[in-house]
Amino acid sequence: MIQLPYIIAGVVIILVIVIIFTGYKKAPPDTAFIISGLRKKIIIGKASVKLPFLERMDKLSLKLIAIDVKTTNAVPTADYINIQVDAAVNVKISSEPSRLALAAQNFLNQNTQYIASIAREVLEGNMREIVGRMRLEEMVSDRQKFANLVKENAEPDLAAMGLDIVSFNVQNFSDGNGVIEDLGIDNISQIKKKAAIAKAEAEKEIAVAKAEADRQANDARINSEREIAKKNNELALQKAELKKMEDTKKAEADAAYSIQQQQQRKTIEITTAEASIAKQEKEVILKQREAEVQEKALDAQVKKKAEADRYARQQQSEAELYERQKRAEAEKFETEKSAMAMKATAEAQAFAKEQEAAGIRMVGEAEAEAIRARGLAEAEAMEKKALAYQKYNNAAMAEMLINVLPDIAGKIAEPLTKIDKITIIGSGDSDGVGAVADHVPAVMTKLFETMKETVGIDMSEIVKAGTYDAKVNRNINISGVTQEEASKAAAQAAAVEAMGD
């Protein structure tokens, strides 16, 4: 008796386990499990337990049902045009609990073909009703409106059966009289007309846009060319400015280089002038020493020769001094002229040219100073020679005259050496050849007479001093000349006479 409760409890447990394992049901999302019996329960996508022998379970598919809805006969529209409509509709068992309960009452354990046939009849009736209420052109032009009206009109009827309309799409409108085609032709004409108008408007807009674009492009091109011209002008101005700066720098560099050259030339010329002055000073010193030597040597020379030589030297010195003065004046004139010409040149070279003119002027002054010093030295030497010549006696003068006789005879005979061919025309009384040959002695004789009259020295007496009569009989008298000096002079005169022969 004690174990009976346990046995009952075990049996109950076993029964519960068996019930659970045998009555456990799990419904998928696309199917509704309807449990009826002790209780009424609908399961969609959930699990539940069905009591064996006490409850039953039925299945109702929630999948879409595709229905092709067509009007079996032609239906007149609101404008009395018979047409046929073909539509594609998708329906399904509603998952809303109240409608699902209605669907379970109407379609439980029925296949989809049965459900589709029932829904097709309802949809076709509602579609006929909407066709009768709409005009053909309205339906053809706005199919969505027709589909929405049919859907709205059929939904209450299908909802009473537990069905939902998922989609409604009109496939085609057709008629046996070609009205829809005519509407299409008219629409095509209208469309073509609108298209032509739109095309014309588009072409017009294109032309306007193109003209505007061309105008803008032309404006842009003109602005671009204007900007390019401005940039080119700015570039040209910048190039000109750079060229000006370059020319300025180059002119400055050239001027600096020219100034440096002029300074170097000035330095060279000054150095050369100083060297020349030093050389001339040395020459002056040398000439002074030579003058001193000549002064000692000229103490034995003739006074007349000194005077004649001094006169000749003075004349020559004056002539040379005059020539130097003229040359200095000419150089100074050329220098001033060159300086004036250079002054008219660019301002960058003015300073250099002025420096060059100053250098040239300094060189001219240095040369003039050197010439003046040399002239003073020569004049001083001439003066010393003149003082020496004043101490000469007649014998020295005679010796000087005899020393120059060969040169005089040579100069007299020189024209005869230039004669290449001579033709002598004369009478029987005269000897032409003799006249030519006697030319030199005659000139020499005339020269001796002139010398006797001018300087008081009789060259014929000096020549006679070398004869036998002069040496033996002493038949000669030369004033101011000793016998020894006269003999020496006679020997030189004889040599001149021999040259004349």
- Rounded CA gap, 192 and 201, in Å? 13
Within 10 angstroms of residue 386's Cβ, the number of other Cβ atoms is 18
pLDDT for residue 439: 60
- Average pLDDT across each block of 10 residues of the chain; the chain has 501 residues. List them in order: 70 71 71 77 74 75 88 86 90 87 85 90 91 87 89 91 90 80 67 79 84 85 86 86 84 78 79 78 80 73 70 80 81 76 65 71 74 76 64 57 68 64 56 58 71 66 55 50 54 51 47
Q: Which two tokens stand for residue 47?
A: 């699990």
- Residue from 374, 375, 370 nearest 314 by CA: 375
pLDDT for residue 89: 92
pLDDT for residue 501: 47
Task: Report domain extents, the chain.
Answer: 4-61, 65-177, 276-389, 394-500
pLDDT for residue 420: 61
Map tokens 């079996």 to a residue.
Answer: 72
Superfamily of domain 65-177: Band 7 domain (3.30.479.30)
Q: Do residues 74 and 83 touch, judged by C-beta distance below 8 A?
A: yes
Alpha carbon 13 to its chain's center = 109
- Calculate the alpha carbon distances from 58 to 42, 117, 424 in Å: 9, 22, 187
Q: Which two tokens stand for residue 254?
A: 């050239």
- Rounded CA gap, 357 and 265, in Å? 11
pLDDT for residue 88: 92
- Residue from 80, 113, 228, 99 nearest 158 by CA: 99
pLDDT for residue 19: 65
pLDDT for residue 171: 87
pLDDT for residue 391: 52
pLDDT for residue 423: 62
pLDDT for residue 246: 84
